[in-house]
Amino acid sequence: MSTGYGSATVDSLAARRLSRLAGSTPAAELVTAAGRREDFAGWLRHVTPAAGCAHPIRLSGTVFRVEQATGRITSERHTAQMPDGLIYTACGNRRASVCPSCAETYRADTFQLVTAGLVGGKGTPATVAAHPCVFLTVTAPSFGPVHTHRTDRKGRPLPCRPRRDDTSCEHGTGHACWERHTEDDPRVGQPLCLDCYDHPHQAVWNLHVGELWRRTMIAATRNLRQLEKLTGHKLRLSYTKVAEFQARGAVHLHALVRLDGRDPDPALSHLTLSPPPGISAAQVALLLRSAVTETSFTTAPHPYRPHGWPIGWGEQVDPRPVRLAARDLDDAAEITTTAVAAYLAKYATKATETAGHLSARLRPDTVRSYTDHTTHSGRQIDACWRLGQRPVGWDPEEWSTSWGRLWRWAHMLGFAGHFSTRSRRYSTTLTALRQARRDWQRDHANPRPAANKVERLDDGEDTTEVVISALHFAGIGWHTTADALLANTAAAQARARRRTAREELWTTG
User: b/e string for 451-479 if b means 16 or more Cβ within 10 A?
Assistant: eeeeeeeeeeeeeebeeeeebeeeeeebe
**pLDDT reported for residue 28:** 52
Which of 153-167, 325-339, 427-441 comes out lowest in average pLDDT? 325-339
Average pLDDT rounded to a whole number, residues 430-454: 67
**pLDDT reported for residue 5:** 36
Alpha-carbon gap, residue 169 to 64, rounded angstroms: 70
Q: How confident is the model at residue 483 (pLDDT cuts 50, 70, 90)?
A: confident
Q: Which of 38-42, 185-189, 443-447 shows the highest mean pLDDT?
A: 185-189
Query: In the chain, how many H helices and how many E strands?
Result: 13, 14
Q: Does the structure show a pLDDT above 50 at 179?
A: yes
Q: Does the structure show a pLDDT above 70 at 486?
A: yes
**pLDDT reported for residue 454:** 38
Give burial (CB, 10 Å; 0-12/13-18/19+) of 11.
Answer: middle
**pLDDT reported for residue 503:** 67
**pLDDT reported for residue 470:** 86
Average pLDDT rounded to a whole number, residues 453-471: 61
Question: Is residue 139 within 8 Å of 318, Cβ to Cβ?
Answer: no
Give burial (CB, 10 Å; 0-12/13-18/19+) of 493.
Answer: middle
Q: How confident is the model at residue 51 (pLDDT cuts 50, 70, 90)?
A: confident
Q: How confident is the model at residue 254 (pLDDT cuts 50, 70, 90)?
A: very high
**pLDDT reported for residue 15:** 46
More confident residue, 373 or 46: 373
pTM for this one? 0.80
Report the run of H or E that residue 78 belongs to, with start and end.
strand 73-78
Handedness of CA 429, 435, 441, 447 (dihedral sign): negative
Q: Does the structure show a pLDDT above 70 at 8?
A: no
Residue 306 CB neighbours (<10 A): 7
Residue 429 CB neighbours (<10 A): 15
Residue (of 411, 373, 421) closest to 206 by Cα position: 411
Alpha-carbon gap, residue 365 to 367, rounded angstroms: 6
End-to-end CA separation in angstroms for the chain: 24
Percent of the chain exceeding pLDDT 90 equals 35
What is the DSSP annotation of 179-196?
----TT-TTTT-BS-TTT
pLDDT tens, position by position, 357-372: 777 788 888 898 889 9
Beta carbons within 8 Å of 448's beta carbon, 6+ residues apart: none
Amino acid 187 reads: R
Q: Which of 11-15, 92-96, 290-294, 397-401 shows the highest mean pLDDT?
A: 290-294
Average pLDDT rounded to a whole number, residues 315-341: 71
**pLDDT reported for residue 482:** 75
Q: How confident is the model at residue 502 (pLDDT cuts 50, 70, 90)?
A: low
Q: Does the structure show a pLDDT above 50 at 282?
A: yes
More confident residue, 394 or 489: 394
**pLDDT reported for residue 106:** 86
Alpha-carbon gap, residue 367 to 387, rounded angstroms: 14
Average pLDDT rounded to a whole number, residues 54-71: 86
Handedness of CA 112, 115, 121, 124 (dihedral sign): positive
Q: Does the structure show a pLDDT above 60 at 450?
A: no
Question: In the predicted model, what is the mean pLDDT of the chain?
Answer: 82
**pLDDT reported for residue 457:** 42
Average pLDDT rounded to a whole number, residues 302-316: 94
Average pLDDT rounded to a whole number, residues 322-339: 62
* Residues facing 58 on adjacent strands: 88, 475
**pLDDT reported for residue 344:** 85
Average pLDDT rounded to a whole number, residues 61-82: 85
Question: Is residue 340 within 8 Å of 114, Cβ to Cβ?
Answer: yes
Q: How confident is the model at residue 36 (pLDDT cuts 50, 70, 90)?
A: low
What residue ranges in 331-374 does DSSP mark as E strands? Answer: 335-336
Residue 231 CB neighbours (<10 A): 15
Residue (of 417, 411, 421, 394) closest to 300 by Cα position: 394
Q: Does the structure show a pLDDT above 50 at 100?
A: yes
Q: Does the structure show a pLDDT above 60 at 86?
A: yes
